[in-house]
Amino acid sequence: MTRFLSCILLPLVLLQGDALAAADRLNERLARFSLATGEPAMALRWVAADPSSEAEILRGMAYWNLGLVEQTAEVLGKVADKGESLDPGAALVLAKANRAIGQTDVANRLLEDLRHSGKQDEAQEASFLLAQQAIEISAYDRAGQVLAHAPEGYWAALGYLNLATAYALQDTDTARSLIALRVAQAMLGERATTAYPDLLQRIQLTAGFVALKGEDPDKALSFLNKVSLKGYYTPRALYLHGLAHARKDNYRAAMQSWHRARKFPLGFPGAADAWLGMGRGFDEAGYLGQAGEAYLGAIAAFEGELVTLATLKQQIRQQGSYDAVVRSARAEDVEWFLAESKTLTQPRLAYLMHFMESADAQNAVVRVAELDQMAQRLRSRKQELHVFGRMLNQRRDSLRRHTGVGDLDVIGAHIATLKARRQDLEGTLRSMAQAGRSAELASGELARKLEQVRSLQAKNNLTPEEFERLERLQGVLAWQAQEQFDLARRDHERELTRIGKALDAAEQSYGRFEDQLHEAPERFEGLIDRVDQLAVEADRQLDRIESLRQRSEKTLDSALLHFLDRQSAVMSGHLDRSEQQIAHLYEYLALNRAVDTAAGGDE
């Protein structure tokens, strides 16, 4: 018996374990999907109660995406300390987290392991991080050695670009820098134009600048001609393009490039320099009148931009940087076929893109954006709770109105009546069987023949022989009726048994429903209380998120205002230079006129 029970129970236990494991795996997949779609908070929810190492890794990745660096290092570090192998992505995140909290040695060991792991993407980024660390301490040879063994791709190209920039800042000779830039471009592969257009533009722009620094304008033009004319780097590339032509004394071509750069907002790097370049170009070409007009145009543009900057800073102080700059730039109503050309002419977007060249600025904007998104989701959940609470209240009130109106009592009485009728039918069948009244239940042709026999017997005009024959026929028919009665009785008994079971089940269901009906108001009250508690908790979390958002936005406000102050100072410097240039131009013209007047008087 024990063996029999074991054979039954063991598969049930195993099936239950398989079901739980399948549920955990499903939650892990949902957590991965949430991470991939930028929902780290939802990923934490999916694996909150899962103690497995895989769930711990997913929690660590979610913490990292939420900016919780210490929690990331703690959770992923525990998994690694247990001897569990981390996948390359998690190991890379653990290395970054350790670097962020100052555990450089631990981070470097992890990065070295990843660099030699052969995993394409992770090995690339690990090599980049190690090379960047070497660049920051001026260990350029070490950085070159690390990058030389890195797989080709985005991170390797970015590493060589940073190394080239470091060479350009240190060396007077540009050879090493240009070689590093060519390697950076080669690291992007054949799909550089389609797969990494922004990085390719940066490489070409940097190469053009380095070539100009090395007094090689032709080489600079060969790089700058490849920069797109519809992008963030376009004004800077056009300014350098004009400067390269100016180095070759081709001021007509230089002014054509600078004129195109002037069409961009002054917030883009290179646009303001192009305004100054136009005046200088006309001056060098000998067109002093046009030079004066160019400098006056530059003065008007710089003064207008200072007003724009002052207005933007005032809007930031009143509305906050996120609403005044980020959300406003993102929410422009632009038709799809005008989106690219129009967005590049928005001053606030130009300053936002310039500001977000810094990684710290990007983190500050992302932090406020994520908190704003969390607050919106929480408000949506709160509204859903409000709707659900109203529905529960309506159901509870409707239940109270319909409870006690007698409908259930009527149903109960019907069930009792049907059970009584069933018992009567059972008694009738038993009594008919005991009394031999099977002929009364005959049906069809048999019943018709019995009726004919009874009618003939009632006439009393039969001969003894006919009467005897009629009695024998009646006996045969009675035997057939008894046989038919036995079959019919068994069918009726089975049907009555089935009806009895159905009535018993209905009576039990009625009893359970009646109990639930009496308990329903209390259950609804419990659900309503739970909804109210969740609404209060949502309000508390919303207040907390709003507080964090306000603090984060104040940090963003301070950083953005400081950036705009620097831009105002730069624009004021451009304005001063324009005024000085036009003053020098007027002074030169006045001196020439005085010389000409004096020469005329002598004659």
Quote the pLDDT of residue 455: 74
The neighbour count for residue 371, using CB atoms within 10 Å, is 20
Quote the pLDDT of residue 11: 41
Alpha carbons within 13 A on the beta-carbon side of 159? 31
pLDDT: which is higher, 475 or 130: 130
- What share of the chain in percent tops pLDDT 90? 32
Task: Give the integer Cα–Cα distance in Å for 145 and 158.
Answer: 15
Tokens 């509870």, located at residue:
396
Tokens at 338, concatenated = 């005008």
Task: Give the integer Cα–Cα distance in Å for 135 and 88.
Answer: 24
DSSP string, 229-278: SSSTTHHHHHHHHHHHHHHTT-HHHHHHHHHHHTTS-TTSTTHHHHHHHH
> Using one digit for the tens of pLDDT, what is the confidence trace for 418-447?
777 767 776 776 676 655 555 555 556 667
Task: Give the integer Cα–Cα distance in Å for 275 and 570.
Answer: 14
> Using one digit for the tens of pLDDT, what is the confidence trace for 314-341?
999 999 989 888 887 765 444 433 444 4
The mean pLDDT value for 551-564 works out to 93
Task: Give the integer Cα–Cα distance in Å for 387 and 127.
Answer: 53
Task: Give the integer Cα–Cα distance in Å for 47 and 30.
Answer: 9
Quote the pLDDT of residue 338: 40
pLDDT: which is higher, 192 or 321: 321
Q: What are phi and psi of 345, to 5 degrees?
A: -105, 10
Work out the mean pLDDT of the chain and round it to a whole number. Answer: 82
Task: Give the integer Cα–Cα distance in Å for 250 and 243.
Answer: 9
Q: Which residues have a Cβ under 8 Å from the Cβ of 254 and sit 6 or more positions away?
A: 242, 243, 244, 245, 246, 277, 281
Quote the pLDDT of residue 16: 44
> Using one digit for the tens of pLDDT, what is the confidence trace for 64-118?
888 788 889 988 888 888 877 788 888 899 999 998 888 889 899 999 988 887 6
Alpha helices by DSSP H, 344-443: 347-355, 359-402, 407-435
- What share of the chain in percent tops pLDDT 70? 80
Q: Are 270 and 238 in contact (CB under 8 A)?
A: yes
Quote the pLDDT of residue 481: 67
Tokens at 393, concatenated = 């209240």
Question: b vs e for 158-171, b when ≥16 Cβ sit within 10 Å of the residue's Cβ?
Answer: bbbbbbbbbbbeee
Q: Which residues have a Cβ under 8 Å from the Cβ of 239 and sit 6 or more positions away?
A: 257, 258, 261, 270, 271, 273, 274, 277
Residue 294's Cβ-count burial label (10 Å; 0-12, 13-18, 19+) is: buried
Q: What are phi and psi of 346, to 5 degrees?
A: -95, 120
Q: Which residues have a Cβ under 8 Å from the Cβ of 139 and sit 6 or more positions away?
A: none
Tokens at 195, concatenated = 């797969």
Query: Looking at the predicted structure, is the pLDDT value of residue 579 above 80?
Result: yes
Quote the pLDDT of residue 289: 87
Q: Are 152 and 187 in contact (CB under 8 A)?
A: yes
pLDDT: which is higher, 9 or 332: 332
User: DSSP 3-state assignment of 343?
Assistant: helix
Task: Give the integer Cα–Cα distance in Å for 263 and 261.
Answer: 5
SS3 annotation, 317-339:
HHHCHHHHHHHHHHCCCCCHHHH
Question: b vs e for 344-362, b when ≥16 Cβ sit within 10 Å of the residue's Cβ?
Answer: bebbbbbbbbbbbeeeebe
pLDDT: which is higher, 465 or 371: 371
Helices (H) and strands (E) in the chain, counts: 25, 0
> Using one digit for the tens of pLDDT, what is the confidence trace for 221-240?
999 999 988 888 999 999 99
Task: Give the integer Cα–Cα distance in Å for 88 and 85.
Answer: 9
Q: Are 211 and 178 in contact (CB under 8 A)?
A: yes
Highest mean pLDDT among 451-455, 499-503, 544-548: 544-548
Quote the pLDDT of residue 266: 92
Quote the pLDDT of residue 333: 43
The mean pLDDT value for 560-587 works out to 92
Among 29-43, 155-169, 333-347, the minimum mean pLDDT is found in: 333-347
Give 19's pLDDT tier (boundaries 50, 70, 90). very low
Give 593's pLDDT tier (boundaries 50, 70, 90). confident
> By C-alpha distance, which of 98, 156, 167, 158 is closest to 127?
156
Q: What are phi and psi of 117, to 5 degrees?
A: -80, -20
At position 412, the amino acid (one-letter code) is G
